[in-house]
Chains A and B, each alone.
Chain A
Amino acid sequence: MGNLFKIALRNLRRYKRRTALTISLIAFGVIFVLVFVSITGSFKQLMITQITDSYLGDLQIHRRGYVASIENLPLNLNLTPAQVSVIEKGLDNIQEVEARSERIKFGALFSTFAETTNIRINGVYPEKEFATCPRMASRIIQGEKGIGALQKGKILVPELLARGFKTKIGDTVVVVATNKDGSVNGKTFVVSGILESATGPGGRDGYIHFEDAVEILRLQGKEVSEIAVRVKSLGRVGEVAQNIRARLDGEGQKQEQSGFEIHTWSQLSPFANIANMIDVMTFFIKLMLIAIVLISILNVMIMAVYERVREIGTIAAIGTSPRKILSLFLVEGFSLGVTGAVVGVLLALGIIAVLNLLKLSFTFGQSAGLILAPTIAPLDVLTASVMVIVVSLLASAQPAYKASRMEPIDALRHV
């Protein structure tokens, strides 16, 4: 085998320019794929964590049917205290759950005494909400940054509303809401902070303390609209959701409760569609890489066989078996692929490192100043490399087969 590689490498060195060009093309393809995957991957990851850590949570648990009506924030589809108890017990026993936040969501009127508008309110326990959505604090662009901003009697007002109503920190405002029995109730709040808008549904909601929400809505017991959950590893959110679903379905039936529904962030946020589009684009970029490698290697190997017909005839005549001739050309294609992949991977890693040093920033939707930090997973590097090498072998197969099937007598006559 060592001799096959020696001969193959020397043959590749014989046509220096062609070999260099082919390796460059393959390397270019690998660089393109890896840099693209790293940038889009980091963009995707950044956006997902922006969404999940800012307001959504990694997954949410609702009463069955709530999400279908989520635009109306239906109070009659809140989780009952009994259901909440079941869910909380269930979540307490799941190790992958890092934090959870019970929320009461409702539509209300927001009044500064001079002007009134609609607002969507989240009633939350500040400690739990800040633990479930750790970027919450950084979204407070004015006012108290910590959990103090959501003490009872305080309200975090969304940026756009505050701007439109010229609301300032310390202003007193009134929130009026209709409870599920149809009666109306209101409560005054002191504006404790202005909340930066975030991309996606729920990104422009106001926040008050959970108990203030209970008071406004005159709820009996601990009813909640949703329980947002933060998991220890976002990559395993689907698996955790399955685990929770299995546990809660069992518990729910035992207690003769109506079912729960669990949705991961990707089922709740429209950004999942963009993430899917990125995955589709990545797939097509990989297809392009395959095409580049296939065409480059096929071209160079066809040329190699065509130019070395007499040589093939000679080695066949002196007794080299067709299988060894096949191997000789396969090893040449393989060597091209490996060299191209190694060069491409090294350069791509260099480019990714430079991009990280440059700290490129970008704006997406309502989020500005996002810093791009491209990273590439070892698995992606391995996948691209293996793909290149396998395609190199496939591309070499036809010319190699042709070489191995040449009749030595015809090949020796070739001019």
Chain B
Amino acid sequence: MILVVAQSLSKTYATDSVEVKAVQGVSFEITAGSFLSFVGPSGSGKTTLLNLIGCLDKPTSGSLTVAGVDVARLDRAQAAAFRGENIGFVFQSFNLMPVLTAFENIEYPLVMVQNKLPGERRTRVLELLQAVGMSDQKNKFPDQLSGGQKQRIAIARALVTQPKLVLADEPTANLDHETAYTIIRLMKKMRNDLNTTFIFSTHDTRIIGEAEIICTLEDGKLVRCEEAHG
């Protein structure tokens, strides 16, 4: 089943004097359950592409369908609702709410976005805490956790709404190599367990090999998409 379809997708940022073509005529399809990485140097358009797929930004031209919805046509509120139901995000800087505990951070989207009942929330959060190996840290606040632990919580938060797709923009950029590797393996494990599609961007050559499909971007153009070997 195809989850994401992009056709001639372009995004141009215009400032007063300069026009930046961040993504230029990109077309691709992503199958549900993929573990895909966009790779490329800084400024190649990885983040822009993830933002477009994540309905955080709108394409300048071309079409983009996510889970069967033409996301370019969604207004602010519709896009927020769509993200809340279908997409999970993992950020480079973890972006956990500092005033909430690990448990509450994971629970947040269920409370504020999906309005789930307390019993269901608790069950789901505890399952994910177990899955990411953070059960014993559930009452700690983000500033009491290490970078790797924060990212585990962020992954759990991204998955708690049972999204079709998780987008991770440079999820290992702020982590040491060993932790980065662990996080990518964790993401893959979660994909295997939950069959959620994971798309992440990275320019870290050490972890690129963990992706099953690698799409290379250069100057906003998709150069190739290939299945990784090994």
Contacts and interface: CB of A to CB of B under 8 A. Distances in A.
Interface of A: 3, 7, 10-11, 13-14, 310-311, 313-324, 407-409, 412
Contacts of A324: 112
B132 to A, nearest CB: 17
Interface of B: 51, 54, 56-57, 76-77, 80-85, 87-89, 91, 93, 95, 97-100, 108-109, 111-113, 157-158, 161
B98 A318 contact: no
Nearest to A404: B76
A13 B99 contact: yes
Contacts, number: 71
A311 B77 contact: no
Contacts of B57: 409
Given A10-B99, A311-B97, A320 B91 contact: no
B95 A311 contact: yes
Given A3-B112, A412-B56, A318 B100 contact: no
A319 B80 contact: yes
A11 B104 CA distance: 14
B113 A7 contact: no
A32 B161 CA distance: 50
Contact of A7 (B80, B84, B100, B158): B100
Contacts of B83: 317-319
Contact of A316 (B80, B82, B98, B108): B80
B112 A14 contact: no
B56 A317 contact: yes
A317 B79 CA distance: 9
A274 to B, nearest CB: 52
Nearest to A327: B112
Contacts of B77: 321-323
18 contacts: A3-B112, A10-B100, A311-B98, A315-B97, A315-B112, A317-B54, A318-B83, A318-B84, A318-B88, A318-B89, A318-B108, A318-B158, A320-B84, A320-B112, A321-B81, A321-B84, A408-B56, A412-B91
Contacts of B87: 319
Contact of B95 (A3, A11, A310, A322): A310
A251 to B, nearest CB: 69
B111 A322 contact: no
Contacts of B80: 316, 319-322
Nearest to A315: B112
Contacts of A318: 83-84, 88-89, 108-109, 113, 157-158
Given A317-B89, A319-B161, A320-B84, 11 more contacts: A7-B99, A13-B99, A14-B99, A311-B98, A314-B97, A318-B158, A319-B80, A319-B113, A321-B77, A321-B81, A412-B56
